[in-house]
Structure 1
């Protein structure tokens, strides 16, 4: 029987999305408008890659393990529960990455019995570190007889959704600064899933994004009350998995290696300049590598203005309003503190009430003939038209 070893310090240092900084490796992002990676948690810097995270520019393998508890007899079948997540999550990433990233799920078809009751682990959103470490240690040990962890890049632990101690608000990533060990492999990344069936839309894709060093883009009110989606609204699932336009920002696709430097256009602002942008979620076509999908204006040492085109296609098929979207990026701002903030092209309006997670930003993109000026940086963006093949023409300059 394979034995599980755990580094003692890791069991008291389990913090969701805990890794802050790590070894740097070169990336394709060598343009002058590429912000440097900082020590901020899940920094939006793109000049180097934090090699302590797997980069999703190739195929990666994930095992999905279903956990039951002594205080509840599972009603659902693991194979049926797995259909709540796959193939939808793999398809989401396939579209988002233009086929560069393949998430290969390996579904365990039998329940793995945990040694303690579901209520004993104190499962909740702001989970006590001691309870969380006990849960992970027990889960790895219980699954080790049937799972060779050395075969996988990431682990999804899915709890019985009908167990009394399961809190659906507790789903999150756990990254370890000191790994657990099993099957002669270091285990650093777990997604602990406590969803009801059916689960929140795109929840697994959101949590998997943290495995790849993407930050939370939502705003969490200090008292837990109020609106969570004031920073980015429906745009990018790292803001809200319920968003109408969940395709990752072009900036994130650049960071992850799904867009290369030749698909990023840097504007120097020595005067007004004209650029064309291919719709972000449009599928890859011949010659696509030479058609920019991201326009960047460097505004400071750790800041930039990013501009992209969003349309009702692919992951964004339910988008509220098509057009050119602009947002500020701050590489020295930590996850959850607003590293990305969308600029509202229609500040006096709102749209898609009842379906949008934040209607004031649902109509943020600019249409043809519209413009906005960023008061923070004095950059004016104007959409001047569309090309014959549907690309957007954008003019940028100083206000």
Structure 2
């Protein structure tokens, strides 16, 4: 199966100038002998759960035609998302775009920040180890222009040729079998500025990629330019394009749409990754295997159930996620977001409610955040955050009701530790 192209990221300066992602459906069911082949089937999320288990009804899934689904479990073919992950980093330049400065300086734009971000987000369950076995610019045999890489370029022919040349140039010093994923850090002067055109892409689960040391380079992210407006304002957070791209390598879809971050806003790095820091949704943390099954409440039974949510950013035990299935493909997720960890830029803490659709493809809006204060204008003033949804969280005394299904989610109160009490009622559909 040839790689397919997903929706191109909209060209917007505010909150949308991040990575376009080109992805392929993971079809491999074998972990193989090499790491870049794919992660083991047990690497991402609660794959061992039976549909008859208490959480079974909440393991929504989509049709096979969905390129990169929000469904649980994540299919085989992507890189592992728990345990030790070894990331091969190659800094690449071209005759018409020679690397400026040290290649290790380019490496230093992303590390150790990316490692720290994943450690914090995963509660230490992802031990992300970046390695740069070649400490100089890896010069490609063709000019950058000759590869024909531009915004939204497919894998063939340009990227296939580039990967082949990267492998041929690096292979004498690199054993690709030792790594779980590949980051190609392109010299920033190759191609346009990220302020003008987004080139960063990821090819994930690509079993038809060129082979290196006997295994296909199946999970690879390519990062271009710098996500900086030139003022230095985002110098400390510009690295976050890489956690976003690697999120695809782990099987996560794009949450932005053609209109930008309007459906999720700044509540997940797969939606907005430029500017102020932000974390992943609780649903994604469960999908990646960073939350225990005991931390997830599945509100699938009729009647009213009571739940206690602890802050998502805080490690340790306690309920982190409530899921309310609507059907086998969709449902509502509920979590408590606070100003901590990777969520330090949250301007309104509280309970976040969002709808997850496993049958909606990457880049088409598989997640929709419910705005508790619609048309408020939001509470953030960051130029790279979708402001309207920044104050979407619900506070004690507020509730959300889906009139079509009769599902009601009520935030009842808090305790002295800041935990939130939530009631989920599965009632009859109503028109008011």
Same-fold call, TM cutoff 0.5: yes
CA-CA distance at 1:28 after TM superposition: 4.3
Confirm whether residue 68 of structure 1 aligns to residue 71 of structure 2: no
Aligned to 2:242: 204
In 2, Cα distance between equivalents of 1:74 and 1:44: 38
Taking a change above 3 Å as real, the CA distance of residues 360 and 13 of structure 1, as seen in their structure-2 partners, is closer
1:141 paired residue among 160, 168, 173: 168
Aligned to 1:118: 144
CA-CA distance at 1:395 after TM superposition: 1.6
Confirm whether residue 213 of structure 1 aligns to residue 233 of structure 2: no
2:125 paired residue among 100, 103, 115: 100
Scaled by the length of structure 2, what TM-score is found? Answer: 0.82
For this pair of structures, how many residues does the alignment match? 377
RMSD, aligned CA: 2.2
Alignment of 1:1-399 (within 5 A): 13=3, 16-21=22-27, 23=29, 27-30=47-50, 31=55, 32-36=57-61, 38-39=63-64, 40-46=66-72, 48-107=73-132, 108-128=134-154, 129-163=156-190, 169-175=198-204, 176-196=206-226, 200-220=238-258, 227-242=259-274, 244=276, 246-268=278-300, 270-284=302-316, 288=317, 291-355=318-382, 357-397=385-425, 398=427
Q: Where does structure 1 lack aligned partners over 5 or more consecutive residues?
A: 1-9, 221-226
In 1, Cα distance between equivalents of 2:361 and 2:387: 25
CA-CA distance at 1:79 after TM superposition: 1.2
Structure number with higher strand proportion: 1
In 2, Cα distance between equivalents of 1:209 and 1:92: 12
- Structure 1 consecutive aligned stretches of length 4 or more whose deviation exceeds 4 Å: 12-15, 164-168
Taking a change above 3 Å as real, the CA distance of residues 55 and 156 of structure 1, as seen in their structure-2 partners, is same
CA-CA distance at 1:350 after TM superposition: 2.3
Asked if 1 retains the 8 angstrom alpha-carbon contact of 2:80 and 2:180, the reply is: no
Taking a change above 3 Å as real, the CA distance of residues 373 and 13 of structure 1, as seen in their structure-2 partners, is closer
Taking a change above 3 Å as real, the CA distance of residues 14 and 273 of structure 1, as seen in their structure-2 partners, is closer
In 1, Cα distance between equivalents of 2:323 and 2:275: 24
In 1, Cα distance between equivalents of 2:311 and 2:159: 42
3-state secondary structure, aligned to 1:138: helix
Q: Where does structure 2 lack aligned partners over 5 or more consecutive residues?
A: 6-21, 30-40, 229-234
Asked if 1 retains the 8 angstrom alpha-carbon contact of 2:85 and 2:180, the reply is: yes
In 1, Cα distance between equivalents of 2:281 and 2:198: 25
3-state secondary structure, aligned to 1:93: helix
CA-CA distance at 1:190 after TM superposition: 1.1
3-state secondary structure, aligned to 1:268: coil
